[in-house]
Amino acid sequence: MQKPFKKKTPNRFLWIALLLICISTIVLPNLQPTAKAISQSDIDALQADANKLAAKKKGLQSKLSALSNDKSKVLEKKELLDEQISVLSDQVSNVEDQIADFDHLISQTQAQLDEAKEKEAAQYQLFCKRVRAMEECGTVSYWSVLFKADNFTDLLSRIDFVNEIMESDQRVIDDLKKLQDEISAKQNDLKDQKAESESAKADLVAKKSELNTQQNATVSLMKQIEENEADYKSTLSEIAKEEDATNDKIAQMAKELAKQSSAKGTYGGYIWPEAVSKRISSPFGKRTSPGGIGSTNHKGVDICGVGYTTQVLAAKAGTVIVSQYSSSYGNYVVINHNGGNATLYAHLSSRKVNVGDTVAQGQVLGITGCTGHSTGPHLHFGITEDGEWVDPLKYLANYMKNW
């Protein structure tokens, strides 16, 4: 509400304003601006933001795991393709070897064929030469055979003699021709087989190129997935930072809330927040980021060995300022002990107190569990002093190191 300025002229108001500015700048130059009044609804609004962030984070994490699922599927497919391609490559080189063998055999038969043709030509030359010689000598000329015969019997025997010579030559030539035909047939057979091998090779090469295309597609898909993954990871780490910042704000507001009440706070005097275990699985402060994407600054300690049924106790008397669920802390409770001093109890399976409740030291706040961002049942326990998270271990007597 604005204060009414009854009957005051704008000039007078201006003067007062100027005077106030001068006083504040001259007299109080180093004074911090006074804290704005904080109400539970401010904390609730912030908590709602934190919840939204946590939900977004959970969504991204499931997308990320779906992506890594996709990635492993693509990897599997790629491995299969790689295998198929290598088998095909082997097949192609096998067919190439066969084709080379056929080429070798074909050139071998060609040499045989050439040799047989040469022999035939030589035989024919020999035959012609013999016939010519006989003609020239006049011993077995057809003419002499026909006209120098003394009688019919002599004529027949002369014809027989000529025929015998001619038949012998003809047989040799026929044999050579037959050999040539056989070699030619063999060569044609080899050429057919080579053509078959070549078409098989063409098929294999086409198949291989198809597989290569698929392989390239899987490689680019993989690249895409990895890019998406990197995007999600960077968004997740941003959200983790925001979550940290929101938690810091909650602690700061608890402090402001405490300041607004006249009650003074004291530090220390805490009891163990449960009664069954003194084992600490994760200490306060810097730690390796879980999965490379979570917070690296642990703002409390993790008490292990508590299961799902252990009663969670108020470490100190105070007022409940947070009692709700968030994706990161699960069911959690924050108790304000005044003076910026608060305690936080997270990952509860159930809560037994509500905001505004006054609790005594040792009063049951809830039951331990594994809700929120937790990999097993444990109690996350945090302490703020003057709005800063401090190491609870300096107050927890006889704790046992379990990290």
Residue ranges in contact with Zn ion by CB under 5 A: 302, 380
Residues 6+ apart with CB under 8 A from 213: none
* Least distance CB 235 / Zn ion (angstroms): 23
Quick one: 123 or 297, whose CB is closer to Zn ion? 297
Q: How far is the CB of 251 from Zn ion (least distance, A)?
A: 15
User: How many Å apart are CA 343 and CA 356, to the nearest integer?
Assistant: 15
* DSSP 8-state class, residue 378: B
**Cβ closest to Zn ion, residue 294 vs residue 340:** 294
Strand order from edge to edge, sheet including 350-351? 311-313, 364-367, 350-351
- Residue 32 CA to residue 354 CA, distance in Å, equals 34
The count of other CB atoms within 10 Å of the CB of residue 200 is 16
AA identity, residue 193? Q
The residue assigned the tokens 């919840």 is 51
Give 290 or 362: the residue with its C-beta nearer to Zn ion: 290
Smallest distance, Å, CB 298 to Zn ion? Answer: 6
State the minimum distance, in angstroms, from the CB of residue 296 to Zn ion: 12
The least CB distance from residue 378 to Zn ion, in Å, is 7
Nearer to Zn ion, 81 or 383 (CB): 383
Output 158 or 351, the one with its CB closest to Zn ion.
Answer: 351
Q: Closest approach of Cβ 304 to Zn ion, in Å? A: 10
Closest residue to bound Zn ion by CB: 380
Q: Which amino acid is at 94?
A: N
Q: How far is the CB of 295 from Zn ion (least distance, A)?
A: 9
Residue pair 49/324 in contact (Cβ under 8 Å)? The answer is no
Q: How far is the CB of 247 from Zn ion (least distance, A)?
A: 11
**Closer residue to Zn ion, CB minimum distance, 75 or 370:** 370
Q: How far apart are CA 299 and CA 334, in angstroms?
A: 13
Contact residues for 350 (Cβ-Cβ < 8 A; gap 6+): 331, 366, 367, 369
3-state secondary structure of 198: helix
- Residue with Cβ nearer Zn ion (25 or 375): 375
CA 191-193-199 angle, to 5 degrees, is 105
> What distance in Å separates the CA atoms of residue 351 and residue 77, rounded to the nearest whole number?
48
Report how far Cα 347 is from the mean position of its chain's Cα atoms.
31
CB nearer to Zn ion: pick between 255 and 380: 380
CA–CA distance, 310 with 306 (Å, rounded to integer): 6
Residue nearer to Zn ion on the CB measure, 120 or 385: 385
Q: Minimum Å distance from CB 361 to Zn ion?
A: 22
Q: Are 303 and 378 in contact (CB under 8 A)?
A: yes
Residues 6+ apart with CB under 8 A from 30: none
